[in-house]
């Protein structure tokens, strides 16, 4: 989930944050480490999720701890569903896995990662698997783990869910535990034994800052992964564990602009440099643990290599956080290309930004084997970051001018005095021509998952070759991207593409979202039987879309000014265990 450090709302949909008195028929969900932090939680059977005629929605699994990944093993009527629970993904004292009774290695700790296994009916048949242990035979304890996927095999057929009995189960994990310090380069790709849960490292020493190693994809003997930027906007600030976390690593040689960015207290930092340090040029892969490793990128390595770390290559770069990745079919308008859902910059740190859009990109390696470039950190969508539309307006996450007010003359004067307005360039010039996005989404809508529909799912508004993508919703560093039911996020969207061989055209519309009609609010006793934070979508062997819902998280305060942390002192981004759901959307 954009664990990306983008932070959160106790949903961003007000009715899921009502006190327990909102319903006489259910108890509130509670954060067990901060018992005053509660939320209404009752997914029902998805009665308030609106889908097009011809489709049905239901609950496949509920009461999960922060799920972010899902994978399938088997075909037809005989398959199992593997769900990754991610653990500690957001910074709050209430999410501290080390404070759990029994510590970070307790088998019932909801703030450490694991995998649960379900049959096709949604009954749990195994797990938790790969729970962290003191001897290291499991995921890293401090989290988050982000994704799981079975590699394709000749025995299985077309997709990673048809992996066949011998297919390896890959996962990504880290010790990011946003952001206690000491987790730099802790991200990994690992192989999990799907029976025993034993974890074997595959690639280690990957960058870890704001964004760890994230989603996985496979093609032509390579494993691909999204490697998010280690910072919010190319510069280490106080939002990066007070400057202790690692700086970004470029995929090509770069020349910096000469700008340094103000964290207050006399600390000035250039892009791609340690906190309080200025650089003029940076070599490709400088400060990485392995050749070929960089961030803000899509990386790949050979699946069949004896030492896969020696085969790492950047495939595409220039993303803030190209979190969601999925290859299109070969007989598609994208011609088998890699579709990337990129999450834009927040208003926080030493180079705060407002209104930074989220993007839908097509990643394509250049013919000479170099990665193509998508413009971050100096391009937001189709526009330079210096455009006035992206000017910060003030917020609690800003380094030089932190405030709980926004847009006041005093706040704008402070931002201007510290040279946060206009936003300065990090680079002197781009390392190559910039590849523009295919489309943009609303600021802070938050891409979290993409999958292409099987033929059996097409019908009505869903054309052959379409894709669904999940939007997690905003995290409160800036004001909401709209008001009430018009806010973009907490939903699933549909993108239809032109036919192969025709000029590329995308048509995007809502596909599944919560009904926010007042009549629904009354009918459900103040609860929505629907989405909190959709963090992934994958099609299963049965042709249905499985939507992974992370559950309830506390807002940082700008989207929900009444966020409870302002009065009880627990802090923002409080995770509520046991509120994750797997939703199932099927064609009738």
CATH number at residue 137: 2.120.10.30
Segment 564-568 shows an average pLDDT of 52
Buried b or exposed e, range 432-460, using 16+ CB within 10 angstroms: eebbebbebbbbbbbbbbbbbbbeebebe
What is the pLDDT confidence band of residue 573, given thresholds at 50, 70 and 90? confident
From CA 486, how far away is CA 442, in angstroms rounded?
Answer: 11
Segment 171-187 shows an average pLDDT of 81
The confidence score (pLDDT) of residue 569 equals 62
Segment 557-562 shows an average pLDDT of 56
Q: What percent of the chain has pLDDT over 90?
A: 72
Segment 378-388 shows an average pLDDT of 97
**Predicted confidence (pLDDT) at residue 253 exceeds the cutoff of 80:** yes
Q: To the nearest whole number, what is the mean pLDDT of the chain?
A: 88
From CA 458, how far away is CA 441, in angstroms rounded?
Answer: 24
The confidence score (pLDDT) of residue 489 equals 75
* Residue position matching structure tokens 């989930």: 1
Segment 150-157 shows an average pLDDT of 65
Lowest average pLDDT, out of 201-210, 387-396, 477-486, 495-504, goes to 477-486
What is the pLDDT confidence band of residue 474, given thresholds at 50, 70 and 90? low
Domain presence at residue 97: yes
From CA 540, how far away is CA 549, in angstroms rounded?
Answer: 16
The confidence score (pLDDT) of residue 166 equals 73
The confidence score (pLDDT) of residue 128 equals 97
**Predicted confidence (pLDDT) at residue 179 exceeds the cutoff of 50:** yes
Name the residue range of residue 407's domain: 14-377+385-587
Q: Report the 10 Å Cβ neighbour count for 103.
A: 13
Non-local (6+) Cβ contacts of 478 within 8 A are 346, 347, 354, 355, 393, 395, 406, 443, 444, 558, 559
Of 17 and 39, which is predicted with more confidence? 39
What is the pLDDT confidence band of residue 176, given thresholds at 50, 70 and 90? confident
**Predicted confidence (pLDDT) at residue 241 exceeds the cutoff of 50:** yes
Q: What angle do CA 465, 469, 472 make, to 5 degrees?
A: 180
Lowest average pLDDT, out of 59-73, 304-318, 470-484, 561-575, goes to 561-575
From CA 191, how far away is CA 170, in angstroms rounded?
Answer: 5
Of 584 and 162, which is predicted with more confidence? 584
Torsion sign over Cα 218, 219, 221, 226: negative
Tokens of 264: 């207050």
Lowest average pLDDT, out of 287-296, 372-381, 393-402, goes to 393-402
Domain presence at residue 203: yes
The confidence score (pLDDT) of residue 546 equals 98
* Residue position matching structure tokens 């790969």: 130
**Predicted confidence (pLDDT) at residue 490 exceeds the cutoff of 70:** yes
What is the pLDDT confidence band of residue 342, given thresholds at 50, 70 and 90? very high
Segment 534-559 shows an average pLDDT of 88
**Predicted confidence (pLDDT) at residue 483 exceeds the cutoff of 90:** no
Segment 313-331 shows an average pLDDT of 97
Segment 524-546 shows an average pLDDT of 87
Segment 446-454 shows an average pLDDT of 95
From CA 153, how far away is CA 304, in angstroms rounded?
Answer: 12
The confidence score (pLDDT) of residue 574 equals 83
- For the stretch 400-438, pLDDT in tens is 999 877 889 999 999 999 999 999 999 999 999 999 999
Q: How many domains does the chain have?
A: 1
From CA 133, how far away is CA 115, in angstroms rounded?
Answer: 14
Domain presence at residue 309: yes
Partnered with residue 546 across adjacent β-strands are 538, 584
The confidence score (pLDDT) of residue 307 equals 96
What is the pLDDT confidence band of residue 442, given thresholds at 50, 70 and 90? confident
From CA 588, how far away is CA 586, in angstroms rounded?
Answer: 6
Segment 361-367 shows an average pLDDT of 97
Tokens of 116: 């649960």
The confidence score (pLDDT) of residue 28 equals 80
Domain presence at residue 315: yes
The confidence score (pLDDT) of residue 521 equals 45
Of 566 and 424, which is predicted with more confidence? 424
Segment 428-456 shows an average pLDDT of 95
Q: What is the DSSP string of 450-508?
A: EEEPPGGG-BTTB-TT-EEEEE----SSS--SSSGGG---SEEEEEEEPPTTSPP-EEE
Segment 42-55 shows an average pLDDT of 94
3-state secondary structure of 414: helix
Segment 235-261 shows an average pLDDT of 95
Taking the complete model, does pTM exceed 0.85, yes or no? yes
Q: Report the 10 Å Cβ neighbour count for 133.
A: 15
Strongest mean pLDDT among 34-48, 305-319, 462-476 = 305-319
- For the stretch 64-89, pLDDT in tens is 999 999 999 998 788 999 999 999 98
The confidence score (pLDDT) of residue 559 equals 56
The confidence score (pLDDT) of residue 93 equals 85
From residue 59, give the alpha-carbon distance in Å to each of 482, 578, 583. Answer: 28, 14, 5
**Predicted confidence (pLDDT) at residue 480 exceeds the cutoff of 70:** no
Non-local (6+) Cβ contacts of 441 within 8 A are 357, 358, 359, 360, 447, 471, 488
Segment 304-317 shows an average pLDDT of 97
- For residue 291, which of 301, 280, 304 has the smallest C-alpha distance? 301
């Amino acid at each position: 989930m954009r664990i990306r450090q983008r932070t959160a709302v106790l949903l961003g949909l007000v009715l899921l944050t009502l006190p327990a008195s909102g319903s006489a028929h259910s108890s509130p969900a509670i954060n067990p480490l901060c018992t005053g932090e509660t939320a209404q939680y009752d997914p029902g059977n998805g009665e308030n999720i609106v889908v097009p005629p011809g489709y049905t929605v239901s609950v496949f699994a509920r009461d999960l701890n922060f799920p972010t990944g899902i994978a399938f093993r088997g075909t037809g009527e005989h398959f199992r569903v593997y769900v990754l629970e991610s653990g500690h993904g957001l910074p709050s004292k209430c999410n501290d896995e080390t404070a759990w009774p029994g510590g970070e290695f307790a088998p019932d700790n909801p703030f450490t990662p694991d995998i649960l296994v379900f049959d096709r009916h949604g009954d749990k048949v195994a797990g938790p698997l790969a729970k962290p242990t003191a001897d290291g035979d499991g995921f890293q304890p401090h989290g988050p783990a982000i994704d799981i996927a079975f590699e394709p095999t000749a025995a299985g057929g077309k997709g990673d869910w048809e992996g066949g009995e011998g297919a390896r189960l890959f996962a990504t994990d880290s010790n990011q535990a946003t952001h206690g310090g000491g987790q730099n380069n802790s991200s990994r790709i690992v192989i999990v034994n799907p029976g025993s849960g034993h974890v074997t490292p595959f690639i280690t020493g990957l960058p870890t800052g704001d964004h760890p190693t994230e989603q996985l994809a496979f093609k032509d003997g390579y494993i691909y992964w999204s490697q998010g930027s280690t910072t919010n906007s190319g510069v280490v600030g106080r939002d990066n564990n007070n400057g202790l976390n690692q700086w970004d690593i470029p995929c090509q040689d770069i020349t910096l602009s000469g700008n340094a960015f103000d964290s207050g207290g006399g600390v000035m930092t250039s892009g791609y440099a340690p906190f309080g340090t200025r650089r003029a040029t940076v070599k490709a892969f400088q400060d990485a643990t392995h050749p070929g490793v960089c961030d803000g990128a899509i990386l790949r390595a050979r699946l069949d290599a004896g030492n896969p770390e020696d085969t790492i290559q950047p495939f595409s770069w220039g993303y803030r956080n190209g979190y969601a990745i999925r290859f299109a079919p070969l007989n598609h308008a994208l011609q088998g290309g890699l579709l990337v859902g990129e999450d834009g910059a927040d208003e926080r740190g030493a180079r705060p930004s407002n209104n930074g859009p989220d993007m839908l990109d097509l990643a394509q390696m250049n013919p000479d084997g170099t990665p193509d470039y998508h413009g971050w950190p100096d391009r937001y969508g189709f526009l330079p970051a210096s455009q006035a539309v992206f000017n910060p307006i003030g917020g609690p996450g800003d380094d030089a001018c932190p405030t709980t007010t926004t847009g006041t003359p005093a706040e704008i004067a402070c931002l201007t005095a510290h040279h946060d307005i206009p936003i300065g360039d990090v680079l002197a010039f781009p390392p190559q021509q910039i590849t523009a996005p295919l489309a943009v989404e609303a600021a802070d809508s938050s891409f979290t998952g993409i999958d292409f529909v099987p033929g059996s799912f097409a019908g009505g508004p869903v054309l052959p070759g379409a894709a669904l993508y999940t939007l997690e919703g905003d995290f409160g560093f800036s004001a909401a991207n709209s008001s009430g039911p018009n806010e973009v996020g907490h939903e699933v969207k549909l993108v239809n593409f032109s036919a192969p061989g025709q000029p590329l055209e995308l048509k995007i519309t809502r596909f599944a979202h919560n009904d926010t009609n007042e009549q629904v609010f009354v009918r459900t006793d103040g609860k929505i039987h629907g989405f909190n934070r959709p963090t992934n979508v994958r099609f299963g062997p049965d042709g249905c879309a499985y939507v992974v819902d992370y559950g309830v998280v506390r807002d940082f305060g700008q989207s929900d000014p009444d966020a409870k942390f302002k009065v009880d002192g627990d802090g923002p981004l409080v995770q509520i265990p046991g509120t994750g759901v797997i939703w199932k959307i099927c064609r009738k």
